[in-house]
Amino acid sequence: MAMHGMRGLSVFISEIRNCQNKEQERLRVDKELGNVRNRFKNEKVLTPYDKKKYVWKMLYIYMLGYDVDFGHMEAVSLISAPKYPEKQVGYIATSCLLNENHDFLRLAINTVRNDIIGRNETFQCLALTMVGNIGGRDFAESLAPDVQKLLLSSSCRPLVRKKAALCLLRLYRKNPDIVNVDGWADRMSQLLDERDLGVLTSSMSLLVALVSNNHEAYWSCLPKCVKTLERLARNQDIPQEYTYYGIPSPWLQVKTMRALQYFPTIEDPHTRRTLFEVLQRILMGTDVVKNVNKNNASHAVLFEALALVMHLDAEKEMMSQCVALLGKFIAVREPNIRYLGLENMTRMLMVTDVQEIIKRHQAQIITSLKDPDVSIRRRALDLLYGMCDVTNAKDIVEELLQYLSSADFTMREELSLKAAILAEKFAPDLSWYVDVILQLIDKAGDFISDDIWFRVVQFVTNNDDLQPYAAAKVKEYLDKSAVHETMVKVSAYILGEYSHLLARRPGCSPKEIFNLLHEKLPTVSTTTIPILLSAYAKILMHTQPPDQELQSQIWAIFNKYESCIDAEIQQRAVEYLALCQKGAALMDILAEMPKFPERKSSLIKRAEYSEADTAEQSAIKLRAQQQTSNALVVTDQHSANGATSPVPVGQLSLVKVPSMITTENDTSSDHTLSQQNGALSNVDPQPPSADLLSDILGPLAIEGPPDATVQSENNAASGLEGGSDAIDGSAIVPVEEQTNTVQPIGNIAERFHALCLKDSGVLYEDPYIQVGIKAEWRGHHGRLVLFLGNKNTAPLVSVQAIILPPAHLKMELSLVPDTIPPRAQVQCPLEVVNLRPSRDVAVLDFSYKFGTNMVNVKLRLPAVLNKFLQPIQVSAEEFFPQWRSFSGPPLKLQEVIRGIRPMPLPEMANLLNSFRIMICPGLDPNPNNLVASTTFYSDSKPAMLCLVRIETDPADRTQLRMTLASGDPTLTFELKEFIKEQLISIPTAPRAPAPAAAPPAAQPTPQIPPNDPAAILAGLLS
């Protein structure tokens, strides 16, 4: 290493360092600047070495923060020096001292160009570096073609070409027209074939900028990006020097994935599959390691992969994997990962249907709001703001209010604005909204902008029911000793308008209200006094019968302010005084304020504006802009509903107004049903339409699943793929025996039945492993996560999980690792899509090895028919026309069922409710009958309404007659059979042994292939 020192420079730096204080340093610097200035005056006699030295000194002084307003010319002139050392200093000093807008730079353009087109490689590098760092529009126009030539030249070495790529990127940013799209796209695509990873990295940065503006032109680059990514992710043919802590250039991986995020979709199935394989690999294969840098690098790649998966959001299974990962991240100790977990969850919210999963992490996110690190607190606030909706608004806003008292000052304004917006957007009732805003003003008055209190006044004015409540509430606040001025403003306004509504309450006589307000007058500024004066005038007007004493008191105040120096106050005082003399006319002029026209909240507009303001050309934001906010529309309607809800004044804080919007998963129990008896506001507005009738015309075999043949073929195929010996009828006996040596803990069948009713629990357990399941159902989609927990201190190996799906379900299980480390839990997401109604059950063929024990079990998965039902309550007016329209078989089927387990009618109602078939009380005049309704979701058809009627015989509880109707014959049949099964064998009761209780291997099933799920099921029933 050559350390060619520059003695004069070192001496100067030492002297600066030895200065005792700032003053001394300044003196020394001034002296040196004088010296340099003198030297530069006699430029002719300066040796190149001296010139270099003085330019460095200048740069050093500049770096210390002193103004250096001369010598720029000297720095620029060094660029044209013939020798490398001077030229180098000239280029570097120029790019440090000047920015692109500097006039001096123009002087250098010619020299720079000569260096670029010249043959000297080192000069080319220097020139490209400077242009790449500070080149402006002028440079873009005069140099772009030359830079392009270098980038594409086959004779240039990588060290020049990588600089040319980034230099071109800079020039492109200054003037996008310099890249001629027609011819350029092909060249760009060729650049991606580059072997040198330095050039490829730079070219990829260039591509990111190009596609961010216009992806259309660069489609041809897409497969190459995927190829590059694959090569890196699989570490194929990557030189050692381009791996960073064992990771093939994490930077290039990140950049490549960035570029891919600008393409809206990937259509070519092969490319898409390859990409998803790579992404899956990254998602699953990134472990936490001890080395900080390796960890950071691998997580940089992981987070970029997450962003790309989000962008390509089609793959539901991966999405849930992503949320699961993020959920893990927000709870780790490493603050960077926590921060990024929160940030990426916020980004994830833009993808439509992950909100529900993210909500599960609400508690953890709220904890992050109290993190010692303000950066993390900010991210948590953003996330809470983003994930808030009607279901959790109360909790979240309350947390924000609580946090407000302890929040840093830098965050308070943002915090209170966000709380105010959320309160407005998602208020379950308006009184709550008023409470929140008043608390905000009380706790953080200094940070409450006028917009916020204007808005609350607007709401109170527009909602008659709210007025007495708001008036009573602000009075409470005024009773406190210290009141923020904003509170005085809003109270004065509201009490002026509406305090007469409280007149009969103790302490609320006009006189008392006046005194309460007037006490505050000495403490407020001139902007608030006019509001107080208006309030006095209004209070006076509302005082019935007139109170002479109060009148003279208020008139005296108006008198006093008649000569006030503040024009606004004076005008009010004069006018009110004059109006008071007018008698009846006063009533008109001071009458209650008219309602405000409904308009969009200025707060929300403000928030949207500030978001749009910083909009860069980033993929995430582009998408955010395309997505219209539907939350707003919904809640607008909602607040209108809430406004009209009649609420007894004064008890509001105690009364919980039933929310009009029920959560989707609300399988509410019967007591709330009876309360909501008449409330039918949430009926699905789209009952099955007439065109469904056309479906009936198709030939359908009602008495059996219509696609049984397809099913068995399909299963035979899937069985072959996952062929495990144990399924095979001719299984070797020892294997079978080994299987039996491990006894399951608990009853597998009971566990399954319990899981049919709830969404999480244990599916299987034995001494070595516990298989848990957690499911979320939404319409025809299901998202299950299998938790494979190793209970031992030794690893479980040869872990295999194969899903044998019935024909009506599409199931995708993510990669199950081959080994489960000791005491570790592995999560395997499983996506389910329901295609058709069917009672067939999916089976999980699960095996692992512990020591020499090979364990193989087949478990039914609780992806059963009722999971795709959504309860719906139907009114009499809707029920009967529907019921009649399903005129008979095959749409409407009736059956007398015997052998029912006797149970009282309410129990049966509960049972149906628990299967998401909702009892509609009061529809059937006969108290021994039950009428219920539900909707069924499948991929092939829109939601289908299903209606059920059960007629019981009080004399014989073991039999009943059931009628089932829906718009789909298969659905009618399957649902009828399903309910029948449930009524005959009650899941909570101990199960009677099934007729075929032999182990699967022992049961000869010659006519069906041994892999048929029916055969497996028969075994499972034991």
Partner 1 sequence: MIHFVLLISRQGKVRLTKWYSPYSQKERTKVIRELGGVILSRGPKLCNFVDWRGFKVVYKRYASLYFCMCIDQDDNELEVLEIIHHFVEILDRYFGSVCELDLIFNFHKAYYILDELLLAGELQESSKKTVARLIAAQDSLVETAKEQASSISNIIAQATK
- Say which DSSP state 1011 is in: T
Tokens standing for residue 200: 């490829």
Name the residue nearer to partner 1 (CB basis): 71 or 719.
Answer: 71
Name the residue nearer to partner 1 (CB basis): 84 or 609.
Answer: 84
For every residue of 134-163, DSSP letters joined together read H--HHHHHHHHHHHHHHHH-SSS-HHHHHH
Does residue 55 have a known ligand-binding role?
Answer: yes
Residue 156 Cβ vs partner 1, minimum distance, rounded to whole Å: 15
Q: Pairing state of beta strands 956-966 and 944-953?
A: antiparallel
Sequence letter at residue 854: M
Name the residue nearer to partner 1 (CB basis): 162 or 836.
Answer: 162
Name the residue nearer to partner 1 (CB basis): 196 or 776.
Answer: 196
Name the residue nearer to partner 1 (CB basis): 56 or 576.
Answer: 56
Residue 198 Cβ vs partner 1, minimum distance, rounded to whole Å: 5
Q: 347, 332, 342, 414: which is closest to 375 by C-alpha?
A: 342
For every residue of 890-915, DSSP letters joined together read TTEEEEEE--PPP--HHHHHHHHHHT
Q: What is the spatial distance between Cα 8 and Cα 752, in angstroms, rounded to a whole number? A: 84
Residue 109 Cβ vs partner 1, minimum distance, rounded to whole Å: 17
Sequence letter at residue 633: V
Name the residue nearer to partner 1 (CB basis): 182 or 616.
Answer: 616
Phi/psi at 725 (5° precision):
-55, -35
Query: 757, 741 in Cβ contact below 8 A?
Result: no
Does residue 378 have a known ligand-binding role?
Answer: no
Distance, C-alpha 439 to centroid of its chain = 28
Does residue 219 have a known ligand-binding role?
Answer: no
For every residue of 511-534, DSSP letters joined together read HHHHHHHHHHGGGS-TTTHHHHHH
Number of alpha carbons in the 13 Å side-chain half-sphere of residue 357: 30
Query: 790, 823 in Cβ contact below 8 A?
Result: yes
Which residues 6+ apart lie within 8 Å of 593 measured at CB? 461, 497
Name the residue nearer to partner 1 (CB basis): 375 or 1005.
Answer: 375
Tokens standing for residue 163: 């600089």
Name the residue nearer to partner 1 (CB basis): 239 or 658.
Answer: 239
End-to-end CA distance of the chain: 78
Q: What is the spatial distance between Cα 420 and Cα 344, in angstroms, rounded to a whole number? A: 24
Does residue 34 have a known ligand-binding role?
Answer: no
Report the length, in residues, of the chain: 1022
Does residue 849 have a known ligand-binding role?
Answer: no
Q: Which residue has the tokens 């799209």?
A: 181
Residue 228 Cβ vs partner 1, minimum distance, rounded to whole Å: 14
Name the residue nearer to partner 1 (CB basis): 368 or 982.
Answer: 368
Tokens standing for residue 1005: 């099933």
Q: 1012, 989, 509: which is closest to 711 by C-alpha?
A: 1012
Distance, C-alpha 896 to centroid of its chain = 50
Residue 271 Cβ vs partner 1, minimum distance, rounded to whole Å: 23
| Rg of the chain on CA atoms, in Å | 38
Residue 253 Cβ vs partner 1, minimum distance, rounded to whole Å: 9
Q: Exposure of 480 by Cβ count < 10 A (0-12 exposed, 13-18 middle, 19+ buried)? A: exposed
Name the residue nearer to partner 1 (CB basis): 26 or 173.
Answer: 173
Does residue 57 have a known ligand-binding role?
Answer: yes
Name the residue nearer to partner 1 (CB basis): 4 or 599.
Answer: 4
Q: What is the spatial distance between Cα 890 and Cα 892, in angstroms, rounded to a whole number? A: 6
Query: 727, 1011 in Cβ contact below 8 A?
Result: yes
Instruction: Tally Cβ neighbours within 10 Å of residue 64.
Output: 12
Rounded alpha-carbon distances, angstroms, from residue 419 to 441, 602, 640, 922, 989:
11, 14, 20, 43, 50
Residue 629 Cβ vs partner 1, minimum distance, rounded to whole Å: 20
Tokens standing for residue 588: 């008109």
Tokens standing for residue 791: 């209970």
Name the residue nearer to partner 1 (CB basis): 339 or 469.
Answer: 339
Residue 300 Cβ vs partner 1, minimum distance, rounded to whole Å: 4
SS3 809: strand
Binding residues, as ranges, are 7-8, 49, 53-57
